[in-house]
Amino acid sequence: MNEPRIRFENAAKSYGSLTVLDNPETACNEKVMNEPMVRFENVTKRYGALTVLDELNLDIARNEKVCIIGPSGSGKTTVLRMLMTLEQIQGGVIWVDGEPLTHMQKNGHLVPASDRHLRRVRSKIGMVFQHFNLFPHMTALQNCMEAPVSVLGLPKKQAEERAAELLDMVGLSDKRNHFPIQLSGGQKQRVAIARALAMRPKVMLFDEVTSALDPELIGEVLNVIRKLGAEHDLTMLMVTHQMGFAKEFSDRVCFFYGGKIVEQGPPDQLLGNPQNERTRQFLSAVLEAR
Amino acid sequence: MSKWDWSYVWEALPYLYRGAIVTVQATVLSFAIALVLGLIIALIRQSPNRYVSTAMTEVVEFIRSTPLLLQVFFVYFVGPQFGILIPAWTAGISMLGIHYAAYCSEVYRAGILAVEEGQWEACTALNLSRIRTWRTIILPQAIPPIVPALGNYFVGMFKETPILAAIAILEMLQQAKIFGANNYRYTEAIVMVGFFFLVFSLAASAIVQSVSIWLNRRYRLQ
């Protein structure tokens, strides 16, 4: 029974010289594979008396692509921000890759996480923001090198190679030495994606990444995300208003309303044949706006 | 006796030269203290510990709300009564520096608060350490835009250095006064001091402006 069902022996996976899996001699048994990558367990978020999220329970499997939709104020962005530790939670536990995120285990109890623990678990998560948040005083290349050098301790040369490779992947190899102000919105967002990927996260969060873009620039960003999903083993969690993209890209769509998941399911089912009244109202309002 | 006599101008020059050196030294040293200490104060005020930041805010408020002259007198004249003997030069420079550090800290704070919240969030998402976040992301964006405001305090402080005369530091205006008293003739010396202050202030403003332009270009901030 202790014999693992699946064993990776010296497995390696590369895309060009970008190594995704580097000889992990770890045996992956069924339990680990079945364990969710992210688990929200009774997570509650409050601002003063206002409850934004009420005892949220949500599991996201390894490599699963989940889209979160819902009206503004429904708490959908808060889900991502809590996972990125940009918001404190008032109740419950968030688990990432089998470990509590803002807590740590001590004598069988959960206590608030130390800074070290928080940073270690957080390193598994990357995030792309609606307003890019690129560092304006650094070139595209420097934006992608900063964290690998200072956090992972990568030598400059290696970090530069990695950054160049990622910029190549998002189709911006000719913009390496451009500053954010010299780039279009779509280009900025692609640099932001490359910057997050440079840290080799296991989970990628996309917070309305196309909402601040001109309509004709949305496609180039979505294409990059599509490519990421197809070529990399990444768990992706995405807040979006692009219903068409959600339908084609995701494994599951969650509809948030009033701080709760009102309905969730495969995109065809949820977007094509919603069961809940609120979901129907929301979808018809969104489709009408087109 | 004519109203303006060039011979007094030449005679006063050595006095004023000695005074000018003291004035410039005092300004540069005090401002260096103000720049460094002001930044430290601003960073302490951003501390997540509310007691620490509030205490620092109160100290800044106290320094800003009492006259510089009183602070200088306090250190120089009251200090010795408690056995704290500080030479005039040290007392003058450090009080001038500390007083202006309080003002500069406010300027730094404005610069820091003007950096977008999203920059902090990106640093958290990339797992940058606190020190690294400040050093390579926040301060390079916060400081270039506030260089002109800091420069104003530089020129302002320069013009306040005659206060040092009150604790017997022979800066330029005091030298002019001594020269005037010795010769019963004030016009030339006082006018020349005024002229020097004007020239130095204009030169300092020009330097500040070019530093500002260079920094903004270096960090691509518009």
Residue type, A181: I
* Dihedral (Cα; A29, A34, A36, A37), 10-degree rounding: 40
Q: What CA–CA distances, in Å, run from B53 to A87, A115, A200, B56, B106?
A: 22, 21, 37, 5, 13
Looking at residue A12, what is its pLDDT?
A: 54
The CATH number of residue B208's host domain is 1.10.3720.10
Cross-chain Cβ contact B125/A126 below 8 Å: yes
Instruction: Report how far Cα A169 is from the mean position of its chain's Cα atoms.
Output: 18
Chain segment A29-49, per-residue pLDDT in tens: 455 667 899 999 999 999 988
CA distance A100 to B126: 19
- Residue A252 · residue A68 · CB < 8 Å: no
Minimum distance, in Å, between the CA of residue A172 and any CA atom of chain B: 20
In a domain, B1, yes or no: no
Burial class (CB in 10 A: 0-12, 13-18, 19+), A130: middle
Full residue range of the structural domain in which residue B64 is found = 6-218
Which among B116, B125, B140 has CB closest to A127? B125
Output DSSP code: residue A130: T
Question: What total of structural domains would you count in chain B?
Answer: 1
Q: What is the pLDDT along chain B (222 residues), one digit of tens a residue?
A: 678 888 888 888 888 888 899 999 999 999 999 999 999 999 999 998 999 999 999 999 999 999 999 999 999 999 888 988 889 899 999 999 999 999 999 999 999 999 999 999 999 999 999 999 999 999 999 999 999 999 999 999 999 999 998 888 888 888 889 888 888 888 888 898 999 999 999 999 999 999 999 988 888 765
Which chain B residue is nearest to residue A198, measuring alpha carbons? Answer: B126
N-term to C-term CA, chain B: 58
Looking at residue B208, what is its pLDDT?
A: 92
Token representation of residue B189? 């010396």
In a domain, B21, yes or no: yes
Looking at residue A170, what is its pLDDT?
A: 94
Chain segment A42-69, per-residue pLDDT in tens: 999 999 888 899 899 999 999 999 999 9
Output DSSP code: residue A179: -
Looking at residue B219, what is its pLDDT?
A: 80
**Which residues in chain A are contacts of B125 at CB distance < 8 A?**
84, 86, 125-127, 129, 196
**Which residues in chain B are contacts of A166 at CB distance < 8 A?**
none
In a domain, B25, yes or no: yes
Looking at residue A1, what is its pLDDT?
A: 43
CA distance A55 to A62: 23
| CA dihedral over A274, A222, A122, A15, signed as positive or negative | positive
Output DSSP code: residue B50: H
Restricting to A residues 11-70, those with a Cβ less than 8 Å away from any Cβ of B are none
